[in-house]
Amino acid sequence: MYKWAGILIAIAAIVIAGAIFLPWGYSPPLIFNFDDGTLQGWSMGKGVSDDAGNEYTNPAGTIWGVQWYDSHQYPGNFPGSDPKGDKNGCYAFINSGLDLKKIGFPLASKYWQVDVVSSYLTSHFKGTKTVEAYLGDMFSTHPFKIEADILLKVYSGGTTQLIPSKNATFTTISKTAWTKVTADFALPTDAVIQHIVIRVRGDHPGLFEGAVFIDHVGATKE
Ligand SMILES: [Ca+2]
Ligand SMILES: [Ca+2]
């Protein structure tokens, strides 16, 4: 009697465990952590925008760019000394010396702005209410600063549109610690979320050398 009860309990446990791990019961975490040695499909818009919304394209295409970065890792200190040669790292937007004057950027503009763009999101992101990301600034020096905000590129009402967060405010990024940037969204019910867009803004008129690091970009539905 007890023997059969034990066997039935064991079978039930196996069935429940299977339901959790089989595809229809599996829900991947909505987080990009860049801990596989890649950018996980993240890229950057082609141009840099001024405060009037005009866009200027980098003619060389290589003066600034993106790369996977081995030494900074969330959580942990920033700037960090994460071991090199492992797969743990983050996204980096790097400028190695682009002079904005050379591409006709108006130096009277209050800021320059670039968009960091996620890979195409899966349907698991449907219903996202909040997106968070951690950023570190090794770009600006006092008194210049880097700020960031998060937007969502969605397909809704027959068009693709970039939707700002409800608060639509920029957060100043620290040079000595990971800074959490959070954005809450009120999306149309038919919205299909295609990309997370992290908008990075700097107030140095010359876009001088440096890098902005991004890690642990996550979405929640609560
Ligand atoms: Ca990471
Ligand atoms: Ca590493």
Q: What is the CATH number of the domain that holds 66?
A: 2.60.120.260
In a domain, 160, yes or no: yes
In a domain, 14, yes or no: no
DSSP alpha helix (H) spans, the chain: 2-21
In a domain, 20, yes or no: no
Alpha-carbon distance 55 to 32, whole Å? 28
In a domain, 105, yes or no: yes
**Nearest ligand atom owner, CA of 71:** 2
Q: For the ranges 35-44, 129-138, 188-197, 207-216, which has the lowest average pLDDT?
A: 207-216
> Ligand 1 centre from 75 Cα, in Å?
8
**Nearest ligand atom owner, CA of 88:** 2
> Ligand 2 centre from 174 Cα, in Å?
21
- The per-residue b/e assignment along 90-128, b for 16 or more CB within 10 angstroms, e otherwise, is bbbbbbeebebeebebeeebebbbbbbbbeebeeebeeb
User: Which domain covers residue 128, as residue numbers?
Assistant: 28-220
- The per-residue b/e assignment along 56-86, b for 16 or more CB within 10 angstroms, e otherwise, is bebeeeebbebebbbebbbeeebebebeeee
Average pLDDT over residues 191-206: 92
CB 122 within 8 A of CB 206: no
In a domain, 19, yes or no: no
Neighbours of ion ligand 1 (CB under 5 A): 33-35, 73, 90, 215
State the amino acid at position 74 in one-letter form.
Answer: Y
In a domain, 38, yes or no: yes
> Ligand 1 centre from 107 Cα, in Å?
35
> Ligand 1 centre from 35 Cα, in Å?
5
**Pairing between strand 192-202 and 171-172?**
unpaired
Condensed to tens digits (0 to 9), the pLDDT of residues 96-150 reads 777 788 888 898 999 999 999 999 998 888 888 999 999 999 987 778 899 999 9
Alpha-carbon distance 211 to 64, whole Å? 9
> Ligand 1 centre from 216 Cα, in Å?
6
CB 198 within 8 A of CB 181: yes
> Ligand 2 centre from 195 Cα, in Å?
26
Count structural domains, the chain. Answer: 1
pLDDT for residue 13 is more than 80: no
> Ligand 2 centre from 208 Cα, in Å?
26
In a domain, 8, yes or no: no
- The per-residue b/e assignment along 189-216, b for 16 or more CB within 10 angstroms, e otherwise, is eebebbbbbbbbbbebbebbebbbbbbb
In a domain, 62, yes or no: yes
